[in-house]
Amino acid sequence: MKVRTDRIKEMAAAAAADQGLHQTLLAAAGRFRQLRQGGVAAFDDLEKARDQGRRVKERCLAELDRLLPRLEKQVRAAGGRVHWARDAAAARAIILGLARARGVKRVVKGKSMMSEEVGLNQALEQDGLEVFETDLGEYIVQLAQESPSHILAPAIHKNKQEIAALFADKLGVDYTDDPEELTRIARRVLRQKFLQADMGITGGNFAIAESGTLALFENEGNIRMSTTLPRLHVALIGIEKVVETYRDFDVLRKLLTISATGQKLSTYLSLITGPRRDGELEGPDEFHLVLLDNGRSRILADPLLRQSLYCLRCGACLNVCPVYQCIGGHSYGWVYSGPIGCLLNTQLLPRGQGGPAPFACTLCGACAAVCPVKIDHPKVMLHLRWLMAEDPAWPLPRPPAARLGLSLYAWLATRPAGFRSASALARLLAPIAAPGGKARLTPPAISRWGRTRRLPRWQRPFSQRWPGLRRRLGNREEPS
């Protein structure tokens, strides 16, 4: 997927100005929040479950160097093969190599952020393969030659009229904007693809090391199709998806579905251990698990950043984020969006490329409050800002005027007498320089910054105003 993270500002501005999109985003986020809320209300002791989930992720990642070889051993014991990919290019090469060696012509895919992350579709298509996304939302997005905009609802940015026109144009069917009818059309078209495909590619929500089992959640059934019908199944997962035991998995699976859609369980959960066995009549002849690092081991090494890898991709943080709801998924410029996107894009892309997304955050903490594994997004966000500011590789604006201003502030802040006189001076000048709190004369160096901000009201410190305030409040007190 093309990286456009450096353009977040213009894309966000355009998205925020698009009223239709804005309404759609608000409606979608509201609906998902409502679904989650319904599930959470019926959930026994969510706080305890979140703590448990966090602990499971902490432990499994701390043990990852042992769990990965164990997973490999078990997958092999079940007759599957394991491939290791250090980066996106390696993952593409492995999967392309498999497709070539096995004479694959048609590929069906289940929803997978991983395949977006490594840019798999383009690579396969350039090699002359036919690739079909089979999750309805992903299929729509693929037909439109766009990219997904929400973890759970990839085509949320398109309304049914747009989808109707798209189907009429690309599939040659009669125009209908009835969702039932559109779904039936997609079912019919994709059913043929499933039956003809040689290779199914999926991601994976968890990989259980003790048994070599891949766990896949979905509501539509396309992942079941992709893992049952084609003669090859390739699953591409990040190394952080490994858990140790089925019990660990059980802790996380309930958090995942409740946080995503409020469901106690998604419609389908497939637990897959290796390919078809002797004497069986269905299932792929070969099962390949591709383990992708692509920057994850680097994230793992930082004790504070590591929590970014706890993410279950439930999407709950997107639906509560005021920024995401305003600018939508595409503005983030790469695979991941919303709060978790701010963290992952910046860390997974090469240094200096992830764009300024961590700065596009109000630090309100709504994301951390819903995250099922208690990722502290604002804390990580601040840490990333600091790392980025310190590292010249990041093309951040560092205007000398701002630097000068901040140095001056730092100097003043450590000198109480100077600070007091400066604030007194500011109080005196405020009515002239900034009537009504709006700066009139912003120096050009910070004028862009100043345009969207109000100056603080220059007042005497609260401790000095309190005696007067108390007198006034006291006067208003009701006689008892």
Partner 1 sequence: MSDPAREAIVQAVSAAVGRGQPTRSDPDTGPSQVAWLPPEEDWEAAAASLQALGDELLVIKGRQELAAALGEITARHQVKRAVRWDHRLLRRLDIDRLLAEQSVDCAAIAGEQDLRSLAAEAELGVTALDALVVSTGTLVMRGGRGRERAVSLLPEVHLALVTPDRRLRAIKDLVPLWQQWRSEPGGPPGSVTLVTGHSRTADIELILVSGVHGPKYIYVLALEFPWDD
Contacting positions for ligand SF4 (CB under 6 A): 259, 311-317, 320-323, 339-340, 342, 361-367, 370-373, 375, 377-378
Q: With CB under 8 A as the contact rule, which of the stretches 157-165, 372-380, 398-406, 457-465 interacts with partner 1? A: 157-165
Instruction: Tell me the Ramachandran region of residue 132: left when phi exceeds 0, alpha when psi lies from -120 to 50, beta otherwise.
Output: beta
Cα 221 to the center of its chain, rounded Å: 23
Q: Which stretch binds partner 1 (CB under 8 A): 6-14, 279-287, 356-364, 417-425?
A: 279-287
Q: Which does 403 bind (CB under 5 to 8 A by kind): ligand SF4, partner 1, none?
A: none
- Among 8, 25, 28, 311, contact with partner 1 (rule: CB under 8 A): 28
The residue among 264 and 448 lying less far from partner 1, judged by its C-beta, is 264
Alpha carbon distance 431, 454 (integer Å): 14
Q: How far is the CB of 209 from partner 1 (least distance, A)?
A: 11
In whole angstroms, what is the distance from residue 377 CA to residue 304 CA? 11
The CA–CA distances, whole Å, from 78 to 74, 102, 204, 277, 423 equal: 6, 21, 17, 9, 72
Q: Does 237 bind partner 1 (CB under 8 A)?
A: no
**Smaller CB separation from ligand SF4, 28 or 95:** 28
Of 189, 192, 200, which is closest to residue 104 (Cα–Cα)?
Answer: 200
Q: Please tell me whether residue 269 adopts helix, strand or coil conformation.
A: strand
Give 327: exposed, middle or buried? Use CB within 10 Å, 0-12, 13-18, 19+: buried
- Tell me the C-alpha distance between 110 and 201, whole Å: 6
Least Cα distance to 57 among 314, 367, 379 occurs for 314
63 is a contact residue toward partner 1 (CB under 8 A) = yes
57 binds, among partner 1, ligand SF4, none (CB under 5 to 8 A by kind): none
x/- letters, 173..212, toward partner 1 (CB under 8 A)? ------xx-xx--xx--xx--xx--------------xxx
Residue number, 290 or 321, with CB nearest to ligand SF4: 321
Partner from ligand SF4, partner 1, none binding residue 31, C-beta < 5-8 Å depending on class: partner 1
Tell me which residue of 199, 302, 230, 220 sits closest to 269, measured CA to CA.
220
How far apart CA 124 and CA 2 sit, in angstroms, is: 16
**DSSP string covering 142-211:** HHTT----SSS-TTTTS-HHHHHHHHHHHH-PPP---HHHHHHHHHHHHHHHHHH-SEEEE--SEEETTT
Are residues 413 and 419 in contact, defined by beta-carbon separation less than 8 angstroms? Answer: yes
Q: Which C-beta is closer to partner 1: that of 60 or that of 357?
A: 60
**Please, which residue, 14 or 166, has the CB nearer to partner 1?**
166
Instruction: Name which of 124 and 292 has its Cβ closer to ligand SF4.
Output: 292
Secondary structure (3-state) at 290: strand
The pairing of strands 232-238 and 286-292 is parallel
Q: Which does 70 bind (CB under 5 to 8 A by kind): ligand SF4, partner 1, none?
A: none
274 binds partner 1 (CB under 8 A): yes
**Choices 289-297, 336-344, 406-414, 434-442; region in contact with partner 1 by CB under 8 A:** 289-297
Integer CA distances (angstroms), 479 to 54, 164, 468, in order: 53, 69, 20
DSSP helix/strand/coil, 242: strand
Q: Which does 297 bind (CB under 5 to 8 A by kind): ligand SF4, partner 1, none?
A: partner 1
Residue 305 contact among partner 1, ligand SF4, none, beta carbon within 5 to 8 Å by kind: none
Per CB under 8 A, 86 contacts partner 1: yes
Q: Among partner 1, ligand SF4, none, what does residue 255 contact (CB within 5–8 Å per kind)?
A: none
Kindly state whether residue 252 participates in binding partner 1, applying the rule CB under 8 A. Answer: no
Binding track, positions 433-452, relative to partner 1; x by CB under 8 A: --------------------
Task: Pick what 126 binds: ligand SF4, partner 1, none; C-beta below 5 to 8 Å, kind-dependent.
Answer: none
| By CB under 8 A, residue 268 contacts partner 1 | yes
